[in-house]
Amino acid sequence: MTKEKFFQNKFALITVLSACGVVAVSMGLRQTFGLFSDFFVKDLQSTITEFGLAIGIQMLMWGMFAPIFGALADKIGGNKVTIIAFVFFALGIFLLYSGPNTGIFFQIDLGLLVGIGLGGTAISVQIAEVGRHFPNKTRGMAIGIVVAMASIGYFFSPLYTKFALSAYGWEKTLQTYLYFIIFGIIAGIFLFPVKKEKSASENIKIKEQTIAEALKEAFSHKGFILLTFGFFVCGFNITLVSAHIPGYIQERGFEAWTAFAILSLIGLFNIFGTLSFGYLSGKYSKKILLSILYFSRGIVLILFLVLPTSTYVALGFGILYGYLWLSTIPPTNGIISQVFGTKYLAMLYGLVFFSHQIGSFFGAYLGGYFFDQYGSYDYAWYLSIALSFFATVVHLPIDEKPLPRLATT
């Protein structure tokens, strides 16, 4: 028996490389905004609550526009959508350092515009486009490769930002971000739509389904609803960490450099996590993998809170939580494509991702709110732990079987 090639044609390879370039830029830059919080407070007269609100708005806009850009990508192609979204991203960054950038404009620049840009550049459109080029058996691994490249951005962006903030100041640092966005636009040009479906008989059946029918079908499926609940928790978990870990490090008395180290370690070890769970998604039950992931997050958070303050504890948290960081994406996306097919994958994943971003809003906002109200981030961490165990349970009843209409025999 001849072993099937992983990349079945050159367009699949080029699309994966293109998606890797796009998400490395978008997700990498997105990871660094927490490192600017002190500068925004001092120079733009923002409070920690207002910063948390801006990040929360950014997460909501990201989530709100993910299904919109996803539906558009399903029609005109992910490459065009990626370029459009990067224009919004660049405008938000430009206005953030050049002005107007105080008061409501701070929320518009960092929250609204950057959030819209993320909606079309940060993962969902790109992995949906990649997913169409691969069969179910290798789709999880292909998506894992793309998400792992986002981790490369996660790893290097905090390191670069730490250097740039010290060498250039925050305004110049944001200005240099525009060069990365230009690279992302060039990479996005090559995010080619798939030429044809793998199965002709499946393609005929899927093409008969309208967007309205796809939405009705998804929201009448219990598994789709449970996935949205679970991804809400994922958003809360990771945005609480990315937005507020620098502040929490100061509160606990860790050395200041450990905040940068944690964010970089999260990016580095997320590479191994996403590749591992991308591979495992093609071998084992995706819902069981998701339950294991969320349970592990809860345990790691508990250990981080109760263990003594030390550099080893901080670095260990970055390593372990990094391994779990975006590892939820391959099995989550895999369940959607496995159950509903790939024709409306960008839109359906975008809808689940919107729930993720609602969770992100609450993670960002409540972290700042609890700190300003009580002088501590502890209540936000307790809530994150409880939600992790909730997500552990909520994935178990999901039915992973493909819908009858996808039958090809």
How far, rounded to the nearest angstrom, does the alpha carbon of residue 6 sit from its chain's CA centroid?
25
Place of tokens 């905004």: 33
Number of domains in the chain: 1
CATH number, position 129? 1.20.1250.20
Q: Region 319-343: what's the mean pLDDT?
A: 89
CB distance 263 to 159 below 8 Å: no
User: Distance from first CA to last CA of the chain, Å, rounded?
Assistant: 22
Instruction: Decide if 6 is inside a domain.
Output: no
> Residues 101-128: what's their mean pLDDT?
91
The whole domain housing 186 covers: 16-195+208-402
Residue 4 maps to a domain: no
331 and 277 Cβ atoms separated by less than 8 Å: yes
Find which of 10-14, 26-30, 32-36, 382-386 is predicted with most confidence, using mean pLDDT.
382-386
Selection from 63, 69, 142, 71 nearest residue 330 by Cα: 142
Asked whether residue 8 is assigned to any structural domain, the reply reads no
Q: How far apart are CA 406 and CA 399, in angstroms?
A: 15
Q: Mean pLDDT across the stretch 209-221?
A: 87
Closest CA to 259 of 242, 280, 276: 242
The answer as to whether 237 is a domain residue is yes
Q: Is residue 10 part of a domain?
A: no
Q: In this predicted model, what pLDDT tens digit does every residue of 46-55 receive, in sequence order?
A: 887 888 788 8
Other CB atoms within a 10 A radius of the CB of residue 396 amount to 12
244 in a structural domain? yes
Segment 239-264, tens digit of pLDDT: 888 878 878 887 777 777 888 788 87
Does residue 217 sit within a domain?
yes
Cα 113 from Cα 62, distance rounded (Å): 9
What's the number of CA atoms in the CB half-sphere (13 Å) around residue 12? 18
1 assigned to some structural domain: no
Q: Check if the beta carbon of residue 61 is closer than 8 Å to that of residue 118.
A: yes
What confidence score (pLDDT) does residue 209 get? Answer: 76
Taking the C-alpha atoms of residue 57 and residue 371, their distance in angstroms, rounded to an integer, is 18
The DSSP-derived string for 96-155 is HHHS--STHHHIIIIIIIHHHHHHHHSSHHHHHHHHTTS-HHHHHHHHHHHHHHHHHHHH
Type of residue found at 202: E
Mean of pLDDT values over 355-365:
86
Residues 6+ apart with CB under 8 A from 85: 65, 69, 116, 117, 118, 119, 120, 121, 125
CA distances from 335 to 155, 166, 188, 403 (A): 28, 44, 26, 11
Q: Is the pTM of this model over 0.85?
A: no
Average pLDDT over residues 124-153: 84
